[in-house]
Amino acid sequence: MLPARQFSSLRLADVLTSSLLAVRSEPNRLGLPAVSKAVVVLADGLGVSALRARAGHARFLAGRLTKADVIDGVFPATTAAGIATLTTGLEPGQHGLVGYQVLDADGDRIINQLTGWDAGMDPATWQRARTVFDQAADVGVPSFAIGPKRFIGSGFTQAVLRGARYVAAESIGDRFAAAREILASEPTALVYLYVAELDVAAHAHGWESGRWLAHLETLDSEMARFASELASDEGVLLTADHGVIDVPETKHVLFDTAPALVDGVRHIGGDPRCLQLYVDPARIDVTSDSLAAAWQVAEGHRAWVYTRAEAVAAGLFGQVDTDVLPRIGDVIVAARKGIAYYDSRPANQSARSMIGQHGSLTDEEIRVPLIRAGAFSR
């Protein structure tokens, strides 16, 4: 049974675009007032459900989270798709980053859109849209992206942050300090500040771990301090690309042990909670419909199963450009219970050590906060 997912009227795609419009003193989807400088903080992996569950440890953020400040991220609920949507203002079907691992049809291979960039995958063309930073440059607004030094020059950075000046800062506190320096030195600016620590801790230890909680407390205190120092013409928004759920090893589903679920599958992409399966074109006896039917019989009680056509028709990827269609799996399996799907055949099974997971359509993974501060406060 396919979900009738009703996405919120405001989404992640609106956040950075509205911030630029606010700097330009123009109307915007978020209703932000005119400012001289805007900062957008992206807390990777900070879902609304986790923030509410740990509200006592994040009093500044949780205290500013109302029902009206909950928005939807993207599907799949994964970083490559989410950050690209934030920085382009477009859904995955348009910018082209439609998952964590997707098919490069020309190369007949699966590529990792966070770390798998190479000579056969040009960031300038694979990510197909102009960024909000490019648009800022068009109107004379300088833009900055603040994040860890290790991301400078990566393919993903070039794909989704092009047009912004990258400022390296290692700790969460250092990044907010860098943002403060930019606001003090620029008469007008659009600033993107990336916080990776929550997502990293969730994958390794789970969002319910002490490690994750410590990073949340740090983020909360740095946001509170930063907000207290804002001038009257400076606005800040904090949001996230996705949420996280914890999946113990006992809830791993080794789907390759059921032959019908991999028969005729040439490539396996996506995330453990949102598989994207690509049918071997040489197997005329296996189609997307027949493969989806096999998955529906075996896993329909705990996953949503779509063919590509069904997912596109349901609007899960937004409007999908013709050139992007082949990147989307022929069959998509999105977990709706607390499980994760793994292929036990590859020799390298290190991914199975992850505890925190995301990718699917559940509220825990899709719904993210939109925290307002400074001139953007309600």
pLDDT digits (tens, 9 = 90+) for 244-260: 999 999 999 999 999 99
Name the segment(s) of the chain with CATH classification 3.30.1360.180.
249-357
Q: How confident is the model at residue 25 (pLDDT cuts 50, 70, 90)?
A: very high
Q: How many helices (H) and strands (E) does the chain have?
A: 14, 18
At residue 7, the pLDDT reads: 83
With respect to CATH, is domain 249-357 assigned 3.30.1360.180? yes
Examine the pLDDT at 189 and tell me if it is beyond 80: yes
264-295: burial string, b at 16+ Cβ within 10 Å, e else = bbbbbbbbbbbbbbbbeeeeeebebebbbbbb
The rounded percent of the chain whose pLDDT value lies above 70 is 99
Average pLDDT over residues 327-339: 97
* pLDDT given at position 6: 73
Burial degree of 260 (CB within 10 A; 0-12, 13-18, 19+): middle
Residue 293: band (very low, low, confident or very high) from pLDDT cuts 50, 70, 90: very high
CATH 3.30.1490.190 fits 13-98+113-244+361-374, yes or no: no
> What is the C-alpha separation between 132 and 28, in angstroms, rounded?
14
Residues forming CATH 3.40.720.10 domain(s) in the chain: 13-98+113-244+361-374
Per-residue pLDDT of 309-318, as tens digits, reads: 999 999 999 9
The answer on pLDDT for 3 being more than 80 is: no
Confidence of residue 4 (pLDDT cuts 50, 70, 90): low
Q: How far is C-alpha 369 from the geometric centre of its chain's CA atoms?
A: 13
pLDDT at position 1 over 60 = no
Non-local CB neighbours of 272 within 8 Å, separated by 6+ positions: 247, 252, 335, 340, 341, 342, 351, 354, 357, 359
End-to-end CA, the chain = 40
